[in-house]
Structure 1
């Protein structure tokens, strides 16, 4: 696991461990980052240009087989992160809580990282049995990763899924993603962890399926215009005890008028939302956001703090 988010603390568990016959190499070519997986079945190459994927490593039937063999020998290894977690907790103090981000699970990993949307759906149609076996294999390995997370020192774990019906149909979600997420949730709850799913896309049409996961909350639940899921709609289906961690839409918080931040919060944070376990997250990862916008939110909060 990477440190991430600018923190000088590395959380290592669960550690990815490919089999000995896999050699991973990185190189740079101008703005492109190239990663080669040297395997017994050939070289699987991924290319990113300025951080965006332009070539996926699994792009043929032959590479599916090599990738399957990689996962057959793959292991997730538990590491003791208690000291690093303690340092992070000391930094946060009483100003917040920490949730351990990890993921994604099998389907979004294939869609976003290792196959891409086009390859994934063509392969699922053309080589269904091979793909089904691959998905089941990956998930069986990830159960060990979920166990490592469930046995970590943190009180909450967020599975970073990026779920959206723009690239995952309700049928695919119901067959694969939802059961995988349900397994994650059950392992977290078995170990008294709060289980949260990061779903930053369009999820309104699968809320009834998300409910079946039994999750405690949804991170980055996105209302219109960027998303399609009003916060209260999620409460309607998953219940008023659902933890929602969401943010102001970028058309308001980043590109809109600073003077409009307060009125938009008045509109969005209804009495029902206020009475639910809702967290307003001011997401600014990767985009420069002026301090005055954070101060506008602070002034709005100050109205209610007496």
Structure 2
């Protein structure tokens, strides 16, 4: 086992210091509890909790939900009634009693914005949203996690542009309306940006170890010009505020990043979170490390669908590509539940990845697992 505790090694890494091994983590909600959990955590796998640091509410919006369930799926309809009109969305949860364990999550099949008039409704929702600090749980979870890991919190879940893409409009509607009717869409983006700034001091003053500001960045949905105009300024504004409080900040970039890599380098966050190696992602981790010299790369290791044998080969090749192995954290998954057999192989390899990595060490690991 490591001379450092799990928490010490992770904090050393994210603060730009040297740990004695590559930190490897998993979010508690994606961890298969039981025998494999004990085995992997005894090998040094850390855990992280994601806690909200604020309550969010819309005092002048009535929210109504209804659920339709079958043996194959569950659909949740949410209606937002405002003084200027109403909108609704439908979220489908696949396999309600087993989807989480198959790595299948829910998704919106109907977005709130369906016609031009709906932009005025969501603008009202953006302006009406209010926040109150909610720090009470942090002390409890810090005692609970102890030296086993760290605690994240969030500024919202998406910044304004990605909120429209992922939560309120969807890709086709946003693109078409933004091009044809910018006078409808731009006021919503501006209202969201003004409103989200109210979250900044609440998050910056929270007791979390890391503050993450969204954002599910992917070049397939966010062009370089959109990133430069809508993502970069608001993220850097938050990062500066949080840094003035001595906090570590991150942005969630789990998609394809090659076309955005130089702009991502202009972000003032400390951590680029959930970077997914090829072939699911398209930016090699070694290239990201070379480009973003002052940043920590938190890797989303999204390859458990391969099965343990192929995972072993892929993970060892990834480790070879980043020798000597500094400035990275490897997460078993930032996105979904991990099958036990794959988690066991992941932990067996990562538990032996002491720093600095060398080819000789990796050959020894390869023979031992």
Question: 2:269 aligned with 1:215, yes or no?
Answer: yes
Query: Match for residue 152 of structure 1?
Result: 206
Stretches of structure 2 lacking an aligned partner (at least 5 in a row) = 1-27, 32-48, 94-105, 355-360, 362-369
Question: 2:129 aligned with 1:74, yes or no?
Answer: yes
Give the ranges of 4+ consecutive aligned residues of structure 1 lying more than 6 Å apart after TM superposition: none
Query: Match for residue 176 of structure 1?
Result: 230
Q: Which moved more, 1:153-162 or 1:83-92?
A: 83-92
Query: Match for residue 37 of structure 1?
Result: 80
Question: 2:168 aligned with 1:100, yes or no?
Answer: no
Question: 2:73 aligned with 1:24, yes or no?
Answer: no
Question: 2:257 aligned with 1:203, yes or no?
Answer: yes
Cα distance in 2 for residues equivalent to 1:12 and 1:195: 15
Stretches of structure 1 lacking an aligned partner (at least 5 in a row) = none
Cα distance in 1 for residues equivalent to 2:312 and 2:149: 22
Equivalenced residues, count = 294
Relative to the length of structure 2, the TM-score reads 0.73
Cα distance in 1 for residues equivalent to 2:79 and 2:206: 31
Query: Match for residue 270 of structure 1?
Result: 320
C-alpha spacing 1:302/1:114, structure 2 compared with 1 (3 Å): closer
Query: Match for residue 348 of structure 2?
Result: 299
Cα distance in 2 for residues equivalent to 1:301 and 1:74: 43
Q: Quick check: 1:36–1:46 contact (8 Å CA) kept in 2?
A: yes
Give the alignment partner of residue 14 of structure 1, picking from 36, 54, 69. Answer: 54
Cα distance in 1 for residues equivalent to 2:334 and 2:186: 37
C-alpha spacing 1:27/1:276, structure 2 compared with 1 (3 Å): same
Displacement of 1:169 in angstroms is 0.9
Question: 2:305 aligned with 1:254, yes or no?
Answer: yes
**Per-residue CA shift, 1:234-278, capped at 9, x if unaligned?**
122211x4211113342xx3323x234333333211374544221
C-alpha spacing 1:243/1:284, structure 2 compared with 1 (3 Å): closer
Q: Which moved more, 1:203-212 or 1:293-302?
A: 293-302
1:119-158 superposed matches below 5 A = 119-158=173-212
C-alpha spacing 1:220/1:285, structure 2 compared with 1 (3 Å): closer
**Per-residue CA shift, 1:1-29, capped at 9, x if unaligned?**
xxx9389x994532212132x10110112
SS in 1 for 2:146: helix
Cα distance in 2 for residues equivalent to 1:244 and 1:10: 18
Q: Quick check: 2:50–2:151 contact (8 Å CA) kept in 1?
A: no
Cα distance in 2 for residues equivalent to 1:176 and 1:63: 21
Q: Quick check: 2:277–2:300 contact (8 Å CA) kept in 1?
A: no
Displacement of 1:56 in angstroms is 0.8
SS in 2 for 1:164: coil
SS in 2 for 1:184: helix
Cα distance in 1 for residues equivalent to 2:214 and 2:53: 15
Cα distance in 2 for residues equivalent to 1:297 and 1:145: 36
C-alpha root-mean-square deviation of aligned residues, in Å? 2.4
Displacement of 1:285 in angstroms is 5.1
Relative to the length of structure 1, the TM-score reads 0.88
